[in-house]
Structure 1
Amino acid sequence: MDHDLKIVIWNVRGLNARARRTAICSLIVTSGASIVCLQETKMALICSSVVLEALGSEFDEYVYLLADDTRGGILLAWKSRVVTITNPEFTTHTLSAQVTPPSSQHPPWWLSIVYGPQLDDEKIEFLRELRDLRASCPGPWMLCGDFNLIYRDEDKNNNNLDRHMMRRFKHLLNDLALKEVYLNGRRYTWSSEHSPPTLVHLDLIINPQFIGPRYLLSTAL
């Protein structure tokens, strides 16, 4: 796989405000990424002007999964002069597409971006959805985004843990031979913003162990 290809994965908590889009664009330009995966856009319709303001003019191709009213939503955007992304596929909580690296020496691979649901019954269905998703993305595959799930005690800063759901998530990772890519720079990716805060590591990049795409810009901003 191409070690020069950088990807940003980010739960932006909404693209509706122009000030938010401007702030996001500043960080994206600094990152030097060629592919951007945004979760929780909170937008049912994304037009080219929104992508331009949020990511800059070099991100000239994009696909998106609609938000449900103001909940969820996924945006996948890329620089077409650097990388080719085709065959987009959508499920209730995921957006997948095939990535063709700039170098012909590296084979195409699948990228799936998720935004997991909040309710337990929906989470169970979401895990089934991920199992089915693997079958539709044969070969090299990377799964990333906000899962709204954890599988380890250390991914939360208190003992209020849903161990039943943690076991379900861990079983999925084991069954699909998925391994988390290490998150640099911080331990948690979400805060309740209360005092004291609940801190959780909800945003993950995971992939089959035989792929090992360590070139990723693993960013939780």
Structure 2
Amino acid sequence: MVRISKINVCFEATSVYGLTVCTYKDAFFAELISHKPLPGVAWLASGDFNQIYRARDKNKRNINRSRINWFRAALQSCELKEIHLQNRRFAWSNERVNPTLCKLDSFCNVEWDTTSDTHVL
């Protein structure tokens, strides 16, 4: 729990680095769901989930739509919604000649969104 006492704010923050191995994705999504706070608690979850939220979040076409659906189902179970990246499409590159570009994700629940309505990425 993060507390900012000067402005009387507290929230849960989850920093994520997702597994890259497909066989562990279900366990990763289950762990994310297990971190869902009690109702009424603001929650911010951000980082590199190593999973895209939608096809346009990656510049390459080698995407696994069923994993996108699993990810979206986990986010729905957590009651998390996307915080949109402002003024650019991608936030990460593998720095190769023909780079893979991806968007790193941030998600919040409705409590975070309504109390922190000025957040920008």
Same fold judged by TM-score > 0.5?
yes
Q: Is the counterpart of residue 166 in structure 1 residue 68 in structure 2? A: yes
In structure 2, what is the Cα distance between the partners aligned to 1:121 and 1:204? 21
Instruction: Please list, as runs of the form range in 1=range in 2, the aligned pairs for 1:18-57 lying within 5 A after superposition.
Output: none
- AA paired with 1:207? C
2:107 is aligned to 206
Residue pair 1:117, 1:148 contacting (<8 A) in 2 also: yes
In structure 2, what is the Cα distance between the partners aligned to 1:163 and 1:100? 38
Query: Which stretches of structure 1, 4 residues or longer, exceed 4 Å deviation after superposition?
Result: none
The structural deviation recorded for 1:217 is 5.2
TM-score, normalised relative to structure 2: 0.84
Larger Rg: 1
In structure 2, what is the Cα distance between the partners aligned to 1:210 and 1:100? 15
Percent of matched pairs sharing the same residue: 30
Gaps of 5+ in 2: none
Residue pair 1:191, 1:198 contacting (<8 A) in 2 also: yes
Q: Secondary structure at the match of 1:108?
A: strand
TM-score, normalised relative to structure 1: 0.49
In structure 1, what is the Cα distance between the partners aligned to 2:47 and 2:109? 15
Q: Is the counterpart of residue 110 in structure 1 residue 6 in structure 2? A: no
Taking CA–CA contacts closer than 8 Å with sequence separation of 6 or more, which of the two structures ends up with the larger relative contact order? 2
From 163, 182, 189, the equivalent of 2:84 is: 182
- AA paired with 2:107? I
- AA paired with 1:129? E
Gaps of 5+ in 1: 1-97
The structural deviation recorded for 1:181 is 1.1
The structural deviation recorded for 1:146 is 1.0
